Amino acid sequence: MLWFGRRIRALLERGERALAAADAEAAERAFTDALRRDPRSAKAFYGRARARTALGHLAGALADYDGLVAAAPAWAPGFFARAWTRWRAGDLAGAEVDYGRGLELSPAEGFAWFQRARVRERLGDADGAVADYGRAIEFDPEGVEPRLSRGLLRRARGDAAGALEDFTAAVERHRDRADVWYARGTLRRRQGDLPGAAADLERAAELAPPWAAPRAALGHARLEAGEPARAIEAYTAAIALEPDRADALYGRGTARAALDDLDGALADFEAALERDPGTADDWYERGFGHLSRGRFGPAVADFGRAATLAPDWPYAHVALGDAQFAAGDLDAALAAYGRALALDPRLPEALVNRAILRVERREFDGAVADLSAAREAGVEAVEVLEARATARLLGGDRTGAIADWTLVLEVDPSRAGALYARGVARLDEGDREGAYEDLSGWLNAVPEDDPDAADVRAVVEALATPA
């Protein structure tokens, strides 16, 4: 039996090494061999699920996650992993259930609350989504995404006061994001706070010079404030960036008419009518509606139309890339992210999403470069450091990966996953003392019945014995 246990451990280690080397097929074979010997091995199910996900076999990965949660029903990350895979496979209802089960086991996971909120929003459960965004904010009070997402949902539901509160909190926490200023500016305009709207939209325009939408919205706010000359300035700037922007053409025509420039007004109105009656924003918003429901083909079409109408709007290209990525067209997604970054080389969403795509394509050096650029652009989320550590490890830079996990732990010493990953990497580097420290810390941080605990405990005991 001792030999049998060693054999299973060897297969599990082989599978993990293969995953680290981005050889998902070899990893799948190793974990399958382990499961033949121990059909209830949680670690083998977890490893094979990850390998199958890397191979694009979502149905097989889901089957393995079923085995994982059956073998380790008290391990919350197993439910979170299955939830994410179900989401990717289009099973939003199943994803919601799994996030709920994981949160029952580990309620302090802010990211899981955020993810379930996004799922619930797509399922049409607005009340549940608002509540979950609130819990995400409780556990990550400095985070921007939960506040921005809750604000957008509150605005859509008519809760202007709640949306303004969220957008203001997001602005205070990330003053260099154009989309946050834009969200608050457009809301203030709806509320009739035209000076406040103009200030916010001016800031959005400053932060995103290639983006026409804040300038068009600024034109609307100035026109409604009785400042047609200044409105024309904003509309003209928007049209210079996006000549087919019908709302800006129509707005400028209205402002010109207010100044008795009837010939100019007529020319703008005719130009607006020649354009597509739907503006880039309209296509963009509808694209998100399709994407949230798993309709990847229509989402690609709508975001493509938005990007055509607003070729200098980087967020349209990011959204197109996201939809193409979800649809499995990795080459097209890579090109879309590239166009966004050509417009704004420091756009965090494009950098992070392209890095994730590059990991899928096994372009690990490129992924590391993108994540490093995102950090330089001001993205401080610890998840970006963790992603860079993983990309470095997969690319063979174990030393760099260890350095990144060290940075993660300096920010949040309680992140058990980083302790485990750094401990394994240190062990592979021959740093027995460092590995012992990290893996012992991991054992202290996880439940005693964690599916990996027994194996890690055996490693720690071996490390405690002089080599």
Average pLDDT over residues 237-252: 92
- Same structural domain, 461 and 400: yes
Residues 259-283 pLDDT 10s: 888 778 778 877 876 786 666 765 6
pLDDT the model gives residue 420: 86
Per residue, what are the HEC states of 398-418? HHHHHHHHHHHHHHCCCCHHH
pLDDT at 413: 86
313 class by beta-carbon count within 10 Å (0-12 exposed, 13-18 middle, 19+ buried)? buried
Do 400 and 373 share a structural domain? no
pLDDT, average across residues 365-394: 89
User: Contact, 307 vs 320, CB < 8 A?
Assistant: yes
CB 178 within 8 A of CB 143: no
Q: Tell me, what's the pLDDT at 294?
A: 82
Residue 290 confidence (pLDDT): 67
Mean pLDDT of 246-258: 85
- pLDDT 10s digits, 162-195: 999 999 999 999 899 999 999 999 999 989 899 9
User: Do residue 446 and residue 390 come from a single domain?
Assistant: yes
As a whole number, the mean pLDDT across the chain is: 89
- Indicate whether 355 and 435 sit together in one domain: no
| Domain total of the chain | 2
pLDDT in tens, 122-145: 999 999 999 999 999 999 998 899
pLDDT of residue 101: 96
- Report yes or no: 94 and 58 within 8 Å, Cβ to Cβ: no
What is the domain range of residue 391?
A: 381-467
446 secondary structure, DSSP code? S
Residues 300 and 368 in one domain: yes
Whether residue 417 sits in one domain with residue 440? yes
Instruction: State the pLDDT at residue 217.
Output: 95
Among residues 377, 398, 419, the one where a domain terminates is 377
Query: Do residues 459 and 393 share a domain?
Result: yes
43 in any annotated domain: no
DSSP assignment string, 327-376: TT-HHHHHHHHHHHHHH-TT-HHHHHHHHHHHHHTT-HHHHHHHHHHHHH
Q: Is residue 186 situated within a structural domain?
A: no
Quote the pLDDT of residue 380. 81
Whether 88 is in a domain gets the answer no
Same domain, 368 and 388: no
Same domain? For 385 and 467 the reply is: yes
> Can you tell me the mean pLDDT for 65-82?
94
pLDDT computed for residue 4 by the predictor: 44
Domain endpoint, select from 377, 401, 436? 377
Task: Tell whether the model's pLDDT for residue 458 goes beyond 60.
Answer: yes
* Ramachandran category for residue 268: left, alpha or beta (phi over 0 → left; psi -120 to 50 → alpha): alpha
pLDDT tens digits for 383-441?
A: 888 889 989 989 999 999 889 888 988 888 888 888 888 888 888 888 888 878 888 88
pLDDT at 240 over 60: yes
Q: Which of 344, 377, 410 is the last residue of a domain?
A: 377
Which helix (H) or strand (E) segment is 230 a member of? helix 228-241
pLDDT reported for residue 453: 82
Would 203 be classed as within a structural domain? Answer: no
CB 41 within 8 A of CB 12: yes
More confident residue, 2 or 5: 5
408 and 366 in a common domain: no
HSE-CB for 374 with a 13 A CA cutoff: 25
- Is 308 within a domain? yes
366 and 295 in a single domain? The answer is: yes
Same domain, 390 and 358: no
Where residue 357 sits, what CATH number does that domain have? 1.25.40.10
Contact (CB, 8 A) for 254 and 220: no
Percent of the chain with pLDDT over 90: 60
Identify the pLDDT of residue 166: 96
Checking if the pLDDT of 462 tops 90, the result is: no
Q: Which pLDDT band holds residue 3 (cuts at 50, 70, 90)?
A: very low
Answer whether residue 276 is part of any domain.
no
Cα torsion angle, 5, 10, 11, 17, sign: positive
